[in-house]
Every structure is written in C-alpha cells, then in structure tokens.
Structure 1
C-alpha cells in the first residue's frame, strides 16, 4: 500500500462551474463543481449516530389513513381514467390511429401486447415529462437535467439544448460517493490505466482478476462474515443465487413487500412460497407454526429446508426489519435466514455495517447476507456474504458465476476505495488495529475495525481523510442527521410519511394519481428546482401513491430546509397535509432542526 498523499486542491476555473436556472429563467444560482457533488458542512451540530436504543423497544410505526374525501376522489379519478382508456381502445378497433397500431395488427401479425397495455402507455404519456428525465453528469448533491418540452401531450419530447441544475433528492447516493473529484475517483481512473474497463469474461471463464479476490475479502470483512462473493448486477444477485439456495421440496417464507428480484429468484427456484404480512413478526410466528406442523402439501413430509427472506430496509416503505424479533424466532424454529441489505448496508449503523450494526447483532446469527454496491458505495453490482462453505458452493451453483460477465475493474476500484474509507486503514508500522472512534463498547458486538494496508492494491492511493476513515465516519453522521431531520420536518408540516426515522428513504404520501405529476412539476419550477421520484401502482398499492425522497450525506442542512419549504408550499396548494399530529411552521422547523432531530431519538420504529 502506497502511503497516502495530500489530496489535490486545484483552483476551480469558470469552466468548472455550472449555472442552475429555474424554469422561469430567473434567479440564477452558481454551484461550484466540487460542492455541487458533495455539499460543504462543518457544523458539528448537524451530526447524528444511527443506532438503536434498547431502552425503547422496537415497535411498528402507526400508519395514518387519509380523510374519506381523499379516498373517494382518488377512486373517482381512477374510474375516469379507466373509462376513457377502455373507450379509446374500443374506438381504436374501428378507427386505426397512430396510437392504436397495437390493436390493428400490421402485416397479419398478432399484437405482441394486450389492449390494456395501451391504456397504461397513455397514462405514462400523461406524466411523460415527470418520469425518466434525461440527466448528464454526476448524480450527487445536485443533478444536471437536459431541458425539454412537448407539443403533443408528451408523445414526443423536444430538447432545447439548455440544461438546468437542480437539487437531487432522487438518487440512491446515500453516502455521497458519486463524485468526479476525490480519492475514490482517482482510484477508478488509475484502475482504468492499469486494467482497462472490462475483464471480457465470466468469473469461471477467464474473467477473474486479483481485484475480484481482494474485493471479496474486503466485503467479507466489512460485513463481518467468513467469506463473500460479488456479482456484476444487484438484481441478478438475488435472481440467480436464490435458486442455488433452495429448490423443490423447500419452503421460502417471504415478506409480502420484498423486492422483485427476490420474487424472481424464488419463482425460478421451484420452491414452495408463503408470504407473511409486512414486518409482522406475530404473523410470521403463526405461519411458521403452521408450515412446520403441516409439512409439504399432500405428502406432509418435513420440508427439506425453510428459508425466511426479508429486507433490511424496504425501498418503497422506508421501513426497517424487526431483526431482533426475527432472530428470536430463528432460534426457536431453526430456519435459515436471508437478509437483503441492498438499501441498508453502508447507510445504517454507527459503523455503516447495515441492520446488524444498527441493532448490535452478530452477523453470524444470519445465514445469508445480501447487499448491493449501487447505493451507499456509488458503484454497481451486489454481493452474497456468509459461511465459507456456503459461498464456495454458490460460486459454482449460482448462475452468475459461469454465465454472467464479471464485475469491471473501475467498479471494483470504486467499491474498495469507498469501503476502505468507511473502515479506515491501519497506518503503516502501527500496533493497533483500529482507531478509538471505530472501537465498539465492550458490551456490544465487535464489528471489524480498520483494515491492513495489504488488503488494498499497492497502487491505490487514498487522501489522508479517507485513509484514516475520518471522512467515512463523517458521512455516516451526516446521513443519519439528514434522514431524521427530513422525516421529522415533513411530519411536523402535516404530511403523512412512512418509514423509520433513520431511513434515507422518505416516502411522502400523495394518495391521488392526478396529483403526482403536478407535485413533480411544481417542485421543479421553484427558484431552486428539486428533483424527486413519484411512485404509483403496481409498485405501490392503488391508493398509496407517493413521492419518494432519497437523502444523501452529500446534502447539507440548508438543502433539507429548501426541500421542506418547497413541500410546505406545494402541499398547501395540492391539499396533501393530512396528518393528525402536532404541526409546526416551516421556519420554526428550520430554526429548531437540531432540537427536532434529538426529539426523534426517543422514537424507535420498524
């Protein structure tokens, strides 16, 4: 390992600044490139530790329901949309237009899609300017959007050639490692010079390099397990390795809100599937008693194995798994436990080790730990961590090993650099294995501390702040503060929100499909545009349309203030404030942010 060098600090020229202009063309704001990717915040008050307090038992957050008139108007709007959709499909059978070519087959071929698909396409076209906005540059604290407009109700988009820089609340850049400047970016650039951009093969067919071996060892140490394997795609990590874990004669018990990648993997495995209510431990307990006592269908033979699958942090709900309670059930019923930490690894816990770290649970109590690098580490791909005997088997039996392309060298370098900056590296000739700030209390589970320099490639240089882990710890503290502040602020404004207070995913319930597009447009047309994702059926229940804010350590406290002020004004216009709790004025929320975050500390919700 080459000793760390001083980070470069070149003077930023005018060419390295970007102009952010609102839709009206007024109120220009200049963002320096470095700060547009990661906001500058030195106020130590805006820090918080992501950790569960066992003084307060884990309890589910009470879900607030909207007034009846909101439900009635939402149903009525869906009814109008469906009626007009079916009417257009019916008329299209007799009056072929350009939007009905799927109903009138060309050249005698049957249509590849159904008639109902056209209704879905038209619904998407109505909000075409709100979904899939083309962007350029880094998905950091701010994001640069390509301006466009439509003259035909969003069937086509016309690009103006201009760009707008907006506050980015839509990317899974939880720790802010998506940057073009800094130690991680320099490591990626150096890896391209040494290894190129691809290994041109699968792991079992000439596509494995020393970077893969080092990255897997680093991931295993980070997760606190014996071994780990990595996959080039997060979705494929679940869909290709779950069939290698269970098969016919096995039972999978899955949370009803598990990700589509888990559902795909379970279907391909051939195992029987039962679902339990989202994060409902009592329902899971009852289901386990039933399936164990009854055995397999018809034969009533014992199951070959039972695998319970849950997510650490649910991407649409923002809820956190009640891991302590599930661990207790695991000890009682002796099933295998698979935890998907795609959104929780790196984002939760005082050491950034995910839900195990947050709840202070030994990772060895979980049989299979899955995670991705797409979120907190600013990279791509996923991993499976667990006992070495299991990982060795999955390397051969998982379809990603022999068939899928291996992870590329630049991505591997990003993973190792970002992960090392969270863990910290032991200084050369140092006798201690971890800094005092990384050391855990004697009463807690000991999570791996700083790593040895030999765990990283010799050519990988890290600036001092990344090398000693101080910047990684700061990012964890900033993310925890930002997440809790936005959760508490939206609740005090009167919005119905879901999710755990520490979750970087903050869903704001809109309920009505017609209000979603207006919400997005109004947020983008403010003096400081805000980019936010909206989600509806089938990703969510029909009446649970929502805006989903994704918080990052790259955001500053002032950025969260901008979001709260924008939501306050838009929420009043669209009638979105339906919470029955205590309400504060937005200026009071911004002024008492630290006090508000500390007040949330007494709430521990799953």
Structure 2
C-alpha cells in the first residue's frame, strides 16, 4: 500500500545561491507581496492574470531577473520560505506556494445574499439504484467477514483479542461490538484518514508519505515529505505573534494574571464582540468545549432545546448534559421547524403540560458536512412569531461568509443583535485555536459565572490570542485615531492632548484603541484591503468549484456560496481509491474524505474546503482531476448527461458559471 512518489522534477528542490537573509520579516514579505499583487492588476495588456496552477513539474524561470520566488525548502523543520519578496515586474511569473497570485478582477465575487431570492434548502440527491445496492452489499460483506474474523480470531488467536475478552475476572474495557466499525471497516481504509502533515497549511502543504506492513494497524513513515495542493486554511500574522511571545511568553501560566485572564484576553474579547456586532463576548480555549460547557449554563430541566438534526456533536453533547428536553427537526426544513414549534408550545412539558421555562433553538450557520446555510431570514421571522431564543453556531461561516466576512448574519444582511447568542471558533478562518460566545452583556456575564469553561478550563495562550486579534483586525481593517486637537494657546507645562477615537459602527473597521498598543500590522492588513480581496476571492472559488462539479455531473450538497463543497462517493471502496488517485496525480491533491459516523453510513463523501489562497487555475486543476477520476470510479450521477458541460467549457466560462445561483 505504498504511496507512489511523483517522478517528475520538483519545483521544491533547494536552489543554490539563494538566501533567507534577504527576508527581513514576515511583515515585510507580506507587504511586498500584497503591493506587487495590487500593482499587477494594472499591468500591461498581454500579461498573464494569475499564478500558473501549482504542479510538481512546473518549471521556474532560470533567470534571476524573471523569477519571482525561489522556493527554498528545509525538510528538517518542514517549513518552506521564499528567498526574497516579489517585484511588480516579476509578479506574473510567480509560482507561490502560500498564496497564489490572481490579479484578474473577474475572478472576484461578493459573498452576499440577494434580497428576495429564496434560500436553497438541503436536497438529498439519490444516485441510481445500482449504486445504492452495491454500497449496501459492500457494507454487508465487510460486516459478515468482520464477524467471522472475530469469531475465529477469539478462538485461534486469543492473544490478539485479549483487550476484547474477559480476563482474570475483569470485564473487557473495550466492547468488541462497540469497536467493530473501527476495527473491521475504518481500519481497512485508514489510508485516507488522518493524513500526517508538516509545515504551514496554505495554498500547498507538505504531506508525510507513509506505508503500512500490517493492513493499516500501524503506519510507517517513509521519511520523505511531498508537496501537495491542499484545500484548507488561510494565512496568519507571524510578526505580531512573535512580538507577543517576547512580551508574554508561550505558556498558559504566563497568560494567567487574576482569574485566569490577562489584558490580552480583555482586548481579544472586546474585539470579538465588535467583529460579530454583539455587545460583549467571552473566549474559550477549545471550540468543542465552548458548546459543550456553555450550553448547560443556558438551559436546564424544564427548558426545551430545538435542534437541527445535523447539528455538531459538541452541541448534542452540551444539550445532553444540560438536562433540558430536546427535540429535533428535519435538517434546514423551516416547515418542519414551525410544526415542531407549534406542537411543543401547545403541549408544554411532558406529563405536567406546564409551559416551558424557555425554548432555545440551536442551529449552525454553515453545516460542516453538508455545506448548507441556515435559512436565517425565515428563522428570524419564526423567532418574532413564537418568541424563542436563538443560538447560532458559526464555526465554519464566521470569517468566510458575508461582504465583510462577519458570518451568516452579514451574508443575509441581518442585524446580528436579532440573534441572542452567536458562537464560533478560531480554528478555521482565523488560523488559531479556541472558540467564543457573543451576546448581550447580561448573557455573557451570566455565562462567565455559570459556564464550566471559565473556572475549570485553561486560559488561551498569548500567541494564540495574538493570532486571533491580528487575523480579525486584518479582516476588519483598522481605523486610525482622529488627529489630536491643536495645543496652540496652551501653556508648555500642559500635557499633550490625546488623540480622539471614532465610534465603532458595525460592520466597520476596528478602532485603533481596540488593539494592543504594541501590535503593528502591515499597511495592506491594517487598511483591510487584503482581507477584502481574500473574501472576494474565496467567494469566487467557492461558487466556481461548487457549480463546476455540478456541471460535470457529480452529486454535491450545500449552498452555492458555501466554501465547504461535499462530493458524494457512496461506496466505501471508492473512498480510498478517490483519495489515492487524487494524491498520485502529477499535481498531487490532498482531499478530506468523510465517512460514518460523521455522515450517514451510505453517504460517504469528499469534503472540499476552499481557500482564498487558491487561484482560478488551482480550481481548474481540481475540476480536471475530479472529471477524470469521476469517469473511472463511476461517480457522475447528478444532472442528466445532456445537461453536462465538458471540462474545457467549464474552465472557459468560469466567470459565468460562478455567477449562477446553482
């Protein structure tokens, strides 16, 4: 099961005569890169408008005057850094691994809902019957063979099953039935899960190749990382994080002053509240724990939680330990939700039929496995009608959706304060860790006292907090303080007048005073221009990939504007094959394959997570690969063959395709 390595020359080989000494700082490089990209938009006619699609066989111009970035790679730490920043004359020949140049304004879209248009719901597209039949048969064969192996193994190879059998009067800690899926199904295709990577995820990532001598029970690294085109992540603000380490250190204990927080925590929470448009916010050191430890502080016995059937496990866990009653409605089905609300309100609590103490509706802004957006306008309409509280989990939508990147409320043009509680994480768009909850000051003060994360969880470390602040500020932009009033006529002994601050108006730029005084961002980040560009690039990439896959004939889920694009595979045997075939191409592509229990058993899928770092040519590369592999694995069961577009037509009409609603 060894992964074959590309035989073509690699553009990542170490170049002689290059030095990292020319790189003064990450900020100087990012600044020069953004300036060059901006100047590229006004370049002369005839110049290419984007970075060539990343290819292992891509050649970099040998002339130093024509080469923008010499990629220099040191496998000892897995970090690839460019030797020098680009210039305007060189920008069009860049083959850049962290953030691809894409100068054409055609490849930009605004992530915004058109008022009056219906919000697409979730549609389960069924494949032909023979696909479903072969999928069920495949699982049946695996289950039968697995039970036979367990039966024989316990009798003839008992040493290998000691952890599943009673011994010395003790019951086994692990149940053979509970672990059956993991041992007999998932292990067989474990090559496509938990891929080990190194370095910084951006437009590309370094994947550590591995082999298994014992059918995936153990994995052995070959010792050779290979560059891959990858669909995850956005960049960070390295210099700001470095400065925070100098000032605060790196440990959690170093961030604790009184009550488990520091001045940096206070600044971060205030900035989060401004970013999402709420009165106050609190932060937690773990995204999963944000839901599972704060939901029990919101509801309890005698309360009703109405939950979407596809809500994340952290929400389900938090509701379960809260003691509240819970009822689920069909995924993103507003008619099902309204019927459930009517019945729940009219019937009241079980047995006693007393009115519920409170009703809390919990939905996700962007569903991580389906790519669907909550129908927020309809939910707000129902909220006004039935008077329930609304909790929106924006783990995947905040920082990615909306004209200003503020999430689903920003996408639909809805006042965020019409939502009672906004929850989100920092692990996606912000490139950090942890999560937050934002709402009114009354709610947040209550959660600080009664939420379990406050007194029991560790504090977020200063470097992580700085990454959160810097990345949020780069999306928002920073408004400089008003000039200080004139001191003419004052005595020399009078103190210098302080600069005045603008009043923050959501969703505007962050006031200068809301950031740490020592934090310095490059101009392109502080004025918000790069953040705005990335949001518009992400919107184009998302729609282009989503609609392109549909036109090729694949079955996909989700909203067209979603940066999460699931492609349905169904059969378990196709999961590993799709992953391997994508990885073994001339331009290797890393994909995330998702299966049960994250999805229903028969709807396994590839989950593309689009990044703003990718160019239109990168999306072309992915579409071409999917087109070829889809024919081989028989995956095209979506629209009729007569309505499909050939790949050449899709790449040529990309702008038109991206502007289609579906």
- TM-score, normalization by structure 1: 0.90
Is the partner of 1:197 in helix, strand or coil?
coil
Does the Cα contact within 8 Å between 1:187 and 1:414 map onto a contact in 2?
Answer: yes
Is the partner of 2:192 in helix, strand or coil?
coil
Deviation of residue 388 (structure 1)? 0.3
Seen in structure 2, the aligned counterparts of structure 1 residues 538 and 29 have a Cα distance that, compared at 3 Å, is farther
Seen in structure 2, the aligned counterparts of structure 1 residues 393 and 61 have a Cα distance that, compared at 3 Å, is closer
Runs of 4+ in 1 over 4 A off after TM superposition: 28-31, 105-108, 201-206, 430-435
Matches within 5 A, 1:322-341: 322-341=375-394
C-alpha distance in structure 2 between counterparts of 1:315 and 1:119, whole Å: 23
Gaps of 5+ in 2: 1-24, 34-52, 61-69, 72-80, 83-95, 485-499
Say which of 461, 471, 478 aligns to 2:520. 461
Is the partner of 2:396 in helix, strand or coil?
coil
Say which of 561, 567, 570 aligns to 1:502. 561
- State the partner residue of 1:587: 648
Deviation of residue 556 (structure 1)? 1.0
Does the Cα contact within 8 Å between 2:371 and 2:565 map onto a contact in 1?
Answer: yes
Is the partner of 1:429 in helix, strand or coil?
coil
Is the partner of 1:253 in helix, strand or coil?
strand
Is the partner of 1:361 in helix, strand or coil?
coil
Matches within 5 A, 1:316-355: 316-355=369-408
Pair 1:126 & 2:188 matched: yes
Is the partner of 2:272 in helix, strand or coil?
helix
Does the Cα contact within 8 Å between 1:433 and 1:449 map onto a contact in 2?
Answer: no
Does the Cα contact within 8 Å between 1:233 and 1:382 map onto a contact in 2?
Answer: yes
- State the partner residue of 2:10: none
Matches within 5 A, 1:244-263: 244-263=297-316
- State the partner residue of 2:334: 281
C-alpha distance in structure 1 between counterparts of 2:566 and 2:209, whole Å: 26
C-alpha distance in structure 1 between counterparts of 2:439 and 2:506, whole Å: 15
- State the partner residue of 1:449: 508
C-alpha offsets along residues 76-130 of structure 1, whole Å, 9 cap, x if unaligned?
1011000000101111221125542333445553221111214522322212222
Deviation of residue 131 (structure 1)? 1.1
Does the Cα contact within 8 Å between 1:203 and 1:401 map onto a contact in 2?
Answer: no
Is the partner of 1:252 in helix, strand or coil?
strand
C-alpha distance in structure 2 between counterparts of 1:6 and 1:89, whole Å: 55
Seen in structure 2, the aligned counterparts of structure 1 residues 55 and 271 have a Cα distance that, compared at 3 Å, is closer
- State the partner residue of 2:203: 141
Q: Which has the higher contact order (CA 8 A, sep 6+)?
A: 1
Does the Cα contact within 8 Å between 1:421 and 1:466 map onto a contact in 2?
Answer: yes
Say which of 550, 560, 573 aligns to 1:514. 573
Pair 1:422 & 2:475 matched: yes
C-alpha distance in structure 2 between counterparts of 1:317 and 1:290, whole Å: 28
Deviation of residue 405 (structure 1)? 0.4
- Bigger CA drift: 47-56 or 114-123? 114-123
Is the partner of 2:210 in helix, strand or coil?
strand
Say which of 447, 453, 472 aligns to 1:394. 447
Matches within 5 A, 1:549-588: 549-581=608-640, 582-588=643-649
Pair 1:369 & 2:419 matched: no
- State the partner residue of 2:29: 9
C-alpha offsets along residues 412-469 of structure 1, whole Å, 9 cap, x if unaligned?
101111111111111343699999xxx9xxxxxx733112211111111100000101
Deviation of residue 542 (structure 1)? 1.6
- State the partner residue of 1:443: none
Deviation of residue 139 (structure 1)? 1.4
C-alpha distance in structure 2 between counterparts of 1:275 and 1:526, whole Å: 43
Larger radius of gyration: 2
C-alpha offsets along residues 475-507 of structure 1, whole Å, 9 cap, x if unaligned?
100110000000011001100000001111000
Say which of 129, 134, 155 aligns to 2:217. 155
Seen in structure 2, the aligned counterparts of structure 1 residues 567 and 78 have a Cα distance that, compared at 3 Å, is same
Is the partner of 1:537 in helix, strand or coil?
coil
- State the partner residue of 1:15: none
Seen in structure 2, the aligned counterparts of structure 1 residues 426 and 220 have a Cα distance that, compared at 3 Å, is same
C-alpha offsets along residues 50-90 of structure 1, whole Å, 9 cap, x if unaligned?
00001422232543210000011011101100000010111
Say which of 185, 199, 208 aligns to 2:261. 208
C-alpha distance in structure 1 between counterparts of 2:213 and 2:58, whole Å: 27
Is the partner of 1:60 in helix, strand or coil?
coil
Say which of 284, 288, 293 aligns to 1:235. 288
C-alpha distance in structure 1 between counterparts of 2:321 and 2:594, whole Å: 27
Does the Cα contact within 8 Å between 2:501 and 2:512 map onto a contact in 1?
Answer: no
C-alpha distance in structure 2 between counterparts of 1:66 and 1:91, whole Å: 37
Deviation of residue 21 (structure 1)? 12
C-alpha distance in structure 2 between counterparts of 1:121 and 1:285, whole Å: 42
Seen in structure 2, the aligned counterparts of structure 1 residues 42 and 28 have a Cα distance that, compared at 3 Å, is closer
Deviation of residue 512 (structure 1)? 0.7
Deviation of residue 167 (structure 1)? 0.7
Gaps of 5+ in 1: 13-19, 440-445
C-alpha distance in structure 1 between counterparts of 2:464 and 2:138, whole Å: 45
C-alpha distance in structure 2 between counterparts of 1:452 and 1:499, whole Å: 36
Seen in structure 2, the aligned counterparts of structure 1 residues 163 and 271 have a Cα distance that, compared at 3 Å, is same
Say which of 382, 385, 398 aligns to 2:438. 385
Say which of 109, 113, 120 aligns to 1:59. 120
Deviation of residue 364 (structure 1)? 1.0
